A = this chain, B = another copy of it.
Amino acid sequence: MAYTLKEIAELVGGAIIGIDQVLIRGINSLADAKEGEISLYADRRYEKELKETKASALLVAKVTDAYHGPQVVVPHPALAHARVAQLFSSPHPRFPGISERTVVHETSIIGTNPSIFPLVYVGEKARIGDEVILYPGVFVGDRVRIGNKTVIFPNVTILPDCVIGNEVVIRAGTVIGSDGFGFIRDGRRNVRVPQLGIVQIDDHVEIGANNCIDRAAMGKTWIKRGVKTDNLVHIAHNVVIGEDTLIAAQTAIGGSAHIGKEVVIGGQVAISDHIRIEDRVMIGSQSGVAKPLGPGEIVSGSPAMAHRLWLRTSGIIPRLPDLSERLRKLEKKVEGLANPSKSEKAE
């Protein structure tokens, strides 16, 4: 697999400075790039690596003097990087057909060109689309439906009746459709509220590793088209997440929360039950969101506040001992002004 720099420049809509017939066989970081590989320079923190790189060409936002090989100038280097990396990425490894060492219940229907590895379990009346890959250790519960070209990584559990769309990716160890955490106190005991609903995951969603997405108490927990989650994310029962929303690692979304589309949620965020987050909101890492957020709001902190305000308050928090001391001194001084004689005696 090799491409001329000209071909690559055309793919990313860039302008070449230098020789355009260099052959490119891979993409790599500045530090690790070998001859024949292209790299990316878009961040000054990597100036040192730039000077020492062995890359045969660069994607850049603007021409740099510190590199003497050919450069492809692009408006958006990170996007260009993604496109070039796609050229050199391998397809997911496939098993040819359905392994004899796997268990597929006879009442289930599998589409064309399947890739079902050994040690998979597919329950009763499941419907699996075309060109689906199920890796070892995957559990597909009864009546689960999976669309076309979806990839389910090892040791994923998809519990009964859940619905997974087309071209979805679910990464290793994730659990889809576990019962929501629904308990009601009856005296001192906790009575389980049966979780009768499902999880529905729409097309082009990617779920990270070791996520937990719980089935709805009634109706569905719904992850809409294009949502991407990082690792170890918890999504409780009856949550709805809008199109193209991004959720970073270890975030927890409470029961029945509604998240809009194109929202960006940082890592280790907690969103309370029943909260509504509108479209295009951005939430900083470790935030605690217990109140609704309007369209486009940018928040941080726990409890969450406007990000700009949080920058200021979080700058003041380390100065609290100083503020406290200044207040104490000022009280004393004012006391002295109010009662001059007493104050003098005290001193």
Chain A residues with CB under 8 Å of chain B are 26-29, 31-32, 45, 76, 78-79, 81-83, 85-86, 88-89, 93, 101, 103, 117-119, 121, 123-124, 135-137, 139, 141-142, 153-155, 157, 159-160, 171-175, 178-179, 181-184, 186, 188-196, 206, 208-210, 212, 214, 217-219, 226, 228, 230-232, 234, 236, 238, 244, 246, 248-250, 252, 254, 262, 267-268, 270, 272, 274, 285-286, 288, 301-303, 305, 309-310, 312-314, 316-321, 323-324, 326-327, 330-331, 333-334, 337-338
- The docked-state distance in angstroms from the alpha carbon of A137 to that of B323 is 57
A215 to chain B: closest CB distance in Å? Answer: 11
Q: Could you say which residues of chain B place their CB within 8 Å of the CB of A272? A: 285
- The docked-state distance in angstroms from the alpha carbon of A267 to that of B186 is 22
Q: Could you name 19 residue pairs across A and B whose Cβ atoms are closer than 8 Å?
A: A26-B196, A29-B218, A29-B238, A83-B191, A171-B178, A181-B231, A188-B262, A190-B244, A208-B212, A210-B212, A232-B252, A252-B268, A267-B270, A285-B288, A286-B302, A301-B317, A309-B318, A313-B320, A334-B334
A27 to chain B: closest CB distance in Å? Answer: 7
- CB <8 Å contact, A234 and B236: no
A83 to chain B: closest CB distance in Å? Answer: 8
- CB <8 Å contact, A193 and B309: no
Q: Could you say which residues of chain B place their CB within 8 Å of the CB of A210? A: 173, 175, 210, 212, 232
Q: Could you say which residues of chain B place their CB within 8 Å of the CB of A218? A: 27-29, 32, 85
Q: Give me 14 other A-B pairs in contact (C-beta within 8 A), A309-B318, A326-B331 excluded.
A: A27-B218, A29-B238, A89-B196, A103-B119, A118-B121, A139-B172, A173-B212, A183-B228, A183-B246, A190-B226, A210-B212, A212-B232, A249-B252, A270-B285
